[in-house]
Structures are given as structure tokens and as C-alpha cells.
Amino acid sequence: MTRPDATHPDSWSSDQVNVTRTGEDPRRWWGLVVIALAQLMVVLDATIVNIALPSAQQDLGMSDGNRQWVITAYTLAFGGLLLLGGRIADLVGRKRTFVIGLVGFAAASALGGAATGSGMLFAARALQGVFAAVLAPSALSLLTTTFTDPKERGKAFGIYGALAGSGSAIGFIVGGLLTEYLNWRWCLYVNVPIAVIAVFGALVLLHDRPGHAGARLDVPGVLLGCGGLVAIVYGFSEAQPRGWSDPLVVTLIAGGVLLLVAFVWWQARAPYPLLPLHIVKDRNRAGCFLTMGLAVIGMFGLFLFMTYYLQVVLAYSPVRTGLAFLPMTAAIIVGSTQISARLMNHVAPRVLMVPGMVLAASGMLILTRMTVDSSYTTEILPALLLMGLGMGLTFMPVFSTATAGVAPQDSGVTSATVNTSQQVGGSIGTALLNTIATTSSTAYVTAHLTDPSKRALIVKEGVVHGYTVAIWWAAGIMLLAGLIAGLMVTAKPPKQGAPAQAPVPESVA
């Protein structure tokens, strides 16, 4: 018995796809460097401007209410258009869309760096998100079709998972260095040389089969799916300044849910579906999507709170704040490349994912004890190390399992769905946990402000209290992710010597 999506389960192509084992061309490892470089650029750009935001706000005269759009414009476009980007990659060829995404991302970055007003910067960030939505699924699907031997696939996904998990933290480090020693504009300009190197590398090193030029794009699916995701992400982003009961927030979230319900209904009937439902009906794949989305909710919330905690409460400089995340980045890389990649071919994915989420939640629980004068070395650092190690253990098997056994013509849209769960989870986490933190801080200050002479201290304590309450929620979400991984991801270890892209037997007789 074979997986239903191992051969052609939809109408994209009627010919049988012949999949071969990864070749002996050593250049494929240099191709991995190119793919990883592009993915790192996309992931870190979601956070690299965070530390630079105060400088950009002052330079361009942004209001406090509008400054959020520097972040939201990117995540909205990225998360909302990823499914479309994945299907375009399947249609016209992944190498072609990979190069187009790189060139467009570099151009949008240069436009943002040269911004003369807030509107120009917001538009450039949205344009970055659009091209990132084309680039990210192309990168992951190129990786999927380049490395099909299980042993090599484990190593490749270990490197990829480390970058996907640590990219956000690396963004804080690079953002701090560029902001302090150059200026905030270089947080955008830095993408240009990276993209140029990746384009030349892609043209020389990457190979791909032709796209399905004769197939048509599912326009109703694009409008329903992307519209629903954009509405939900936008609704969550507006919940922090407006409140959860605000009519606009309620309308956006409810409308987004309805659009997604209509999207699922249409995908079951569309002749050329944007997201073939067999991709998400697979139990293991659905478990990976949910695990990724929930894990990133907690991770993005942590980045947000720790950035403000270190800079505002402990008065760290931008560079010192960025460097404070370095041990977490190192732990993510160790967890992905030295633990997950080595064990992936010997143990079931959930044997890595469940302990990973428990470790990450344990790190969160340590942070719930933060005070206004906590020591970084004894109280913050251990938590960041546990968090990084847990994420490293989790990300690599999630990426590998979610894309295993997918027919090549569906690899782009499957990769896009993984990235969509990551981006949408990050957007929801930032909005949800920030709202919890703000509400808890306000309640704390109201209850404890009895002596006006101690107002500054009470306000600072209230801010930290809000962070710890939100981190409790994040820890619970991490544990939920671990539970889902344990119950839903039942895949067995990949077999030595069996191509990962070929039809995979469900059981051995």
C-alpha cells in the first residue's frame, strides 16, 4: 500500500514522474549553500529591522500607531501569499521562481533602504514580503528534490532547519550591529549583496525540471485562501492596538475564517487546486504543520519580549541585545545539525519533536521568574539555551517529515504550506502574546500604584509582570505543540537507501 500523494493524485499532470536517487554530483552541496543563504535572508528579514525600528521611526517621522506596519506589512504579504508562491513555483519551475524571488527581494530591499518617508518604507516592506512568498517555497522544494537519499537528506535538512530556526535570532544580532555602527538603512541594504551572490550561485549550481506550463492557476483559490490568511493575520495584528472586541478585529478574524472554510470547500472541487487537499489530509503532514505553527507562536513572542526586556528594562545597547541572543542561535544549530540530523534516520520524528517542545517550554518557564533586575548569566541564559536546543530538535524533523513522500509536482505548494504555518504562527504569536502582556501590565500598575513617588518602579515592574504572564501562555502553547506532535506525527524512521521522493510503503509485509 502506498501513500495517496506519492504518485499523481491531482490533475496537474497525467504523466508518471520517475524519481531517481540523489546523484553523485558534489556541486549539490554547494547548491545547498545557495539555498540556505536565500532562506536565511528571508527568515532573518522578519526580525532584522526590529532593533532598528526606533531609529527608523525617528528618521522618517513615523507615529507610534503607524510604526507597526514596518513589521506587519512584511509578515502580511509573506504569510498571505505563500500558497500562491508555492503553486507558481510548481507551474513555471522552481529554479526560475527562485531567481525571480531573489532579484525582486533585492530590489525591494534597496527601495526600503532609500525610503524618504514612512509610506515608501511600508510599501517596500510589503514588496519584500511578496517576493519572499515566491522565494521561500522555491528554496525548500529545491532542497526536497535535490536531496532524496535518506542519509544525505537528514544532513541537508539539519542545516536548513538550523537556519530556519535561528534566522530570527541572527536577525536581531545583525540588526543590532548595523544599527549601532552604520544606520538602520543598512538593515535593508544588506540583502542586496546576499541576493546577488545567491543569484549567481543558483544559475551555476541549481537544477530543476521544467514547470507545468499547460496548467492553469486556481484564481478563486488564490482569492479565497490568500484573502482569508491576510484577513486573519491582519486581524491579529490589529488586536493589540484596538483590542480583541473591536468590531474591525472581530470582523477581520471571522471573515478570514469564513474565507478559509470557503477555500477548503472550493479546493475539493477545483480542477487545478491551489492546495490539493491530499497534502493536508495526510496525518503526519498535518501534525507537522500544526506543530510548526504553535511552536513559532511561542518563539516569536519570546523574541518580542526579550528584545524590549533587554533594551528597556536592563538598558542594553542594540549590539549587546543582539549578542544576547547568540547562545540561543548556537543551541538551535547544535540541536538541528548535531542531534536531529544524526538521529533522524534511526528514530521516529516525534521522538525528537516531543522532547524538543518540552525543552523549549522548560526554557519558557524559567523566564516566568524574570524581575526588573534579573541576571543574564544565571537567569536568562539557561532559558535561552533550553529554548534554542528544543527548537533545533523540532524544526529539522518538521521540515523533513512534512515534505517527505510528496510527488515532485506538489513539492512547491507543500513547502509553501510549511512556511505559511511558520509565518502565520509568528504573526499570531506577536499579536496574541503582546495583547496579553499589555493587558496584564495595565492591571498590575492599576492595582499596585498606591504611592505616586514609586510610579517609575511600579511601571517597570508592571511591564515585566506582563511579559511573564504572556510567557506562561507561550509555555502552554509549546506544550500543546508537543502533544500534537506526539499524537499526530506517527511516521517511522526513513529507511536507509530508499529515495525519499519515491512512493513510500505504509507498511512492510
Distance from C-alpha of 325 to C-alpha of 169, rounded to nearest angstrom = 6
Structure-model confidence comparison of residues 6 and 378, the more confident one: 378
Q: What is the pTM of this model?
A: 0.74
Give, to the nearest 10 degrees, the angle between helix 326-333 and helix 381-403.
40
Question: What is the tens place of the pLDDT at every residue in 280-316?
Answer: 888 888 888 899 889 888 887 777 778 778 877 888 8
Structure-model confidence comparison of residues 57 and 132, the more confident one: 132
Inter-residue contact 387 to 364 (CB < 8 Å)? yes
The answer to whether the Cα torsion of 162, 163, 164, 169 is positive or negative is positive
- Coil, strand or helix at 12: coil
Under the banding of pLDDT at 50, 70 and 90, the label for residue 380 is very high
Inter-residue contact 255 to 234 (CB < 8 Å)? no
Residue 184 pLDDT exceeds 50: yes
Distance from C-alpha of 70 to C-alpha of 60, rounded to nearest angstrom = 12
Residue 3 pLDDT exceeds 60: no
Inter-residue contact 295 to 392 (CB < 8 Å)? no
Note the pLDDT of residue 15: 36
Residue with cell 518557564: 365
Structure-model confidence comparison of residues 107 and 203, the more confident one: 107
Distance from C-alpha of 177 to C-alpha of 179, rounded to nearest angstrom = 6
Percent of the chain topping pLDDT 70: 83
Question: What is the tens place of the pLDDT at every residue in 457-502?
Answer: 888 888 899 889 989 999 999 999 999 999 988 888 766 444 444 3
DSSP characters over 426-456? HHHHHHHHHHHHHHHHHHHHHHH---GGGHH
In Å, how far from its chain's centre is CA 338? 21
Under the banding of pLDDT at 50, 70 and 90, the label for residue 124 is very high
DSSP characters over 22-50? --S-THHHHHHHHHHHHHHHHHHTTTTTT
Distance from C-alpha of 340 to C-alpha of 333, rounded to nearest angstrom = 10
Distance from C-alpha of 265 to C-alpha of 257, rounded to nearest angstrom = 12
Distance from C-alpha of 136 to C-alpha of 82, rounded to nearest angstrom = 8
Question: What is the grid cell recorded at 494?
Answer: 526513513
DSSP characters over 57-81? HHHHT--TTTTTHHHHHHHHHHHHH
Structure-model confidence comparison of residues 509 and 66, the more confident one: 66
Which ranges of 191-345 does DSSP label H, i.e. alpha helix? 191-205, 219-221, 227-242, 247-267, 277-281, 283-308, 318-324, 326-333, 341-343
